[in-house]
């Protein structure tokens, strides 16, 4: 099975939010990654100062999974800047299509909320943002990973690993997820909420 994971980057993005998910999915054969920024190719500086080259133009049409990481929270945060600017939430809203999984780690769920993609839907985010996610119309579930079909969200920073392992279980099966967990030497924690 081939899988194209399209990771959304922006200045101030929290790299642990997406690295954990990518590390988990990277255990599987046939996974292809694209790092993309809505402003196009260039260099993105992550929250730690790490510089990441973005080589591809914004083109999520070929993606199977769009992965949206957070970037802090509150006034003046990188996330706040992206929401206020409005370009990235608009691009995420336009990217939605049948067959595409929109996945968010940590406060990345707030970008999906700003795009109108969490309203009335089961979702989660970092604990500091849950009240705001709820106030914006999301149906906040107390779980580490929340899978509502084409919308999959996870809690705080380290839950990105659990998100990746859940996506492996969902797409490749339980044995593949157990293998990936063993390779990463990661014991999944918390609950995964999903529709039966």
Query: What's the pLDDT score for residue 55?
Result: 95
Determine how many CB atoms are found less than 10 A away from the CB of residue 32.
Answer: 12
What's the 3-state SS for 96-114?
CCCCCEEEEECCHHHHHHH
- Give the C-alpha separation, 184 to 47, whole Å: 24
For domain 3-194, say whether CATH 3.30.930.10 is its number: no
Beta bridge partners of 151: 102
Q: Parse the chain into domains and list their residue ranges.
A: 3-194
Query: What's the pLDDT score for residue 23?
Result: 97
| pTM: predicted TM-score of the whole model, two decimal places | 0.97
Query: What's the pLDDT score for residue 127?
Result: 97
Query: What's the pLDDT score for residue 61?
Result: 94
Mean pLDDT in order along the chain per 10 residues (196 residues)? 96 97 97 96 97 95 97 97 98 98 98 98 98 98 98 96 98 97 95 90
Query: What's the pLDDT score for residue 195?
Result: 83
């Amino acid at each position: 099975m081939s899988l194209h994971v399209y990771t959304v980057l922006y200045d101030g993005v929290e790299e642990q939010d997406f690295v954990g998910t990518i590390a988990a999915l990277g255990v599987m054969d046939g996974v292809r990654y694209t790092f993309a920024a809505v402003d196009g190719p260039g260099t993105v500086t992550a929250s730690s100062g790490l510089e990441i080259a973005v080589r591809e133009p914004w083109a999520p049409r070929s993606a199977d999974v769009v992965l949206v990481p957070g970037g802090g929270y509150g006034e003046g945060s990188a996330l706040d800047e992206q929401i206020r600017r409005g370009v990235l939430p608009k691009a995420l809203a336009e990217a939605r299509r049948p067959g595409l999984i929109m996945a968010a780690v940590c406060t990345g769920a707030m970008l999906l909320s700003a795009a109108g993609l969490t309203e009335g839907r089961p979702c989660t985010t970092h604990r500091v943002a849950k009240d705001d996610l709820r106030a914006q119309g999301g149906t906040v579930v107390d779980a580490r990973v929340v899978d509502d079909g084409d919308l999959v969200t996870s809690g705080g920073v380290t839950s990105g690993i659990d998100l990746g392992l859940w996506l492996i279980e969902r797409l490749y099966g339980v044995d593949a997820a157990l293998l990936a967990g063993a390779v990463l030497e990661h014991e999944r924690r918390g609950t995964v909420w999903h529709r039966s």
